[in-house]
Structure 1
Amino acid sequence: MKKIVVSGKTVDDAIEQGLGQWEVAEDRVKVTVLEQPSRGLFGWIGAKDAKVELELIPDPLEEALLFLKDVFRTMNVQMDVDVQSGKDLTTFNLSGEELGILIGRRGQTLDALQYLVNIVANRYSNTHVKIVLDAEDFRNRRRKTLEDLAMRLASRVMRSKKEVILEPMSSLERKIIHSRLQDHPSVKTYSKGEEPNRRVVIALK
């Protein structure tokens, strides 16, 4: 934990000085009063300032971002991160020349990083924090690819009258397939198998 000890004529003055050093609001710190101010003899001889200890309360998004940048340093890749905060989730958009390394095959590396980033963020939060890790709109492009795949395979099932079993996918990608075909008039979907080899099955209704 990051801590500082500061002094001031009053407790409030000391707190203000500490907040100014860190450039944070008071709700980002835990305050412990170490010494109350005293006026001293005749109001000034032996007078003592107030002394307080400020402990910085970690911000979940800042900690997640620091973790991510440490990963980049370890991998020796240069990445920029644009943080977009929404109502229910925060998106970390990555950009750089070596995105292929971070995305991985079908986004598996990106998914793994996203999983770890969320673990770090929620370690420092009392409420659930959701972070989506994206890389130059990869998530939307991948969704479109999966939705197109779902429709093509549904047509194949209708022609062949045989069910189709897809390759293993993450729960998020399986959900995209299920959602795209949930209102299809002729086919249905379900999942089978155990993680990490759980697959979507497309079959006739």
Structure 2
Amino acid sequence: MTDDAAVQDDHEVEDVAGLEAQGDAAADYIEALLDICDLDGDIDIDVQNGRPYVSVSADDPLALRLLNKAETVSALQELSRLAVQSKTGSFSRLILDIGGSRDARKQELTVLVERAIARIEDGAAQAALPPMSSYERKIVHDVVADRGFSSHSVGEASDRHTVITRA
């Protein structure tokens, strides 16, 4: 192994350790929130695609029903990111999943993409989707590419959305 490769491996280990530390900080924040709300939940921490990923689950699916709505998860994710930044001093691209909310949203986005592709197959030149977060747009881009179509993001800030076209 060359010295450059060894240095790169050391940086990757440090990066993973830093991401795990961010996950730990977010998990501490979410655990405190669950305690305040008197909710039971199991917290899992992982690193996926270069991001800390914190998942909250419960034996009783109804236990987290107040927290797993898309808007609530997004708000809690932002608060968790702030808690991580406060604790570690680092900006975090943390992903928070509560009660399977991310999988449910991916399914919703897949249906949205399928409808948009159907419009294109029926003759439309392109199909624009509603504004969504960068994480959601990434999911859309992946689903669109898997279907053999092309997509790009358009707009600024809260108006940023995805446009789908033929490849």
Range into which the TM-score falls when normalised by the shorter chain: 0.5 to 0.7
Q: What amino acid maps onto 1:164 in structure 2?
A: A
1:139 matched residue in structure 2: 102
Bigger Rg over Cα: 1
Q: Does 1:203 align with 2:154?
A: no
Q: Whole-Å Cα distance in 2 between the matches of residues 153 and 137 of structure 1? A: 25
1:93 aligns with 2:93: no
Q: Say if 1:86 and 1:183 are closer, same or farther in 2 by CA, change over 3 A.
A: closer
- The answer to whether the 8 Å contact 2:116/2:128 transfers is no
Greater length-normalized contact order (CA 8 Å, ≥ 6 residues apart): 2
Per mean C-alpha deviation after superposition, the further-off stretch among 145-154 and 170-179 is 145-154
Alpha-carbon spacing, 1:61–1:183, altered in 2? closer, same or farther (3 Å): closer
Say which structure is richer in helix: 2
CA distance in structure 2 between the aligned counterparts of 1:195 and 1:188, rounded to whole angstroms = 22
| Cα separation, 2, equivalents of 1:122 and 1:181 | 33
Q: Deviations over 1:22-41 (max 9, x none)?
A: xxxxxxxxxxxxxxxxxxxx
Give the whole-Å Cα distance in 2 for the aligned partners of 1:84 and 1:72.
14
SS at match of 1:133: strand
Shift in Å, 1:139: 1.0
- For residues 195 and 126 of structure 1, the distance between their equivalents in structure 2, rounded to whole angstroms, comes to 24
Structure-2 residue corresponding to 1:114: 77
- Output one character per residue of 1:38-68: Cα deviation in whole Å (capped at 9) or x when no partner: xxxxxxxxxxxxxxxxxxxxx7656534533
**Structure 1 contact 85–91 (Cα < 8 Å) conserved:** yes
* Partners of 2:27 and 2:45 within 8 A in 1: no
C-alpha RMSD of matched pairs (Å)? 2.9
- Report deviation, 1:192: 1.0
Given that 2:34 and 2:41 are in contact with CA atoms closer than 8 Å, whether structure 1 keeps it comes out as no
Displacement of 1:190 in angstroms is 1.2
Q: Distance in 2 between matches of 1:129 and 1:161?
A: 39
State the AA in 1 paired with 2:114: M
Amino acid at match of 1:165: A
Task: Using the TM superposition, name which of 108-117 and 122-131 deviates more.
Answer: 122-131
Aligned residues: 142
Which of 160, 176, 179 is the equivalent residue of 2:142? Answer: 179
Gaps of 5+ in 1: 1-58
| Deviation, structure 1 residue 177 | 0.8
- 1:116-155 Cα shifts (integer Å, max 9, x gaps): 2122124323777664322221211211221232123112
**Cα-to-partner distance string for 1:52-92 (whole Å, 9 max, x where unaligned):** xxxxxxx7656534533554577xx4322312233453423
SS of residue in 2 equivalent to 1:79: coil
Do the aligned partners of residues 80 and 61 (structure 1) sit closer, same or farther apart at CA in structure 2, a change above 3 Å counting?
farther
Aligned pair partner of 2:118 in 155, 176, 183: 155
Which has the larger strand fraction?
Answer: 1
Ranges in structure 2 where 5+ consecutive residues have no aligned partner: 1-20
Is 2:156 aligned against 1:194?
yes
CA distance in 2, matches of 1:151, 1:191: 17
Aligned to 1:9: none
Whichever residue aligns with residue 41 of structure 2, its letter is V
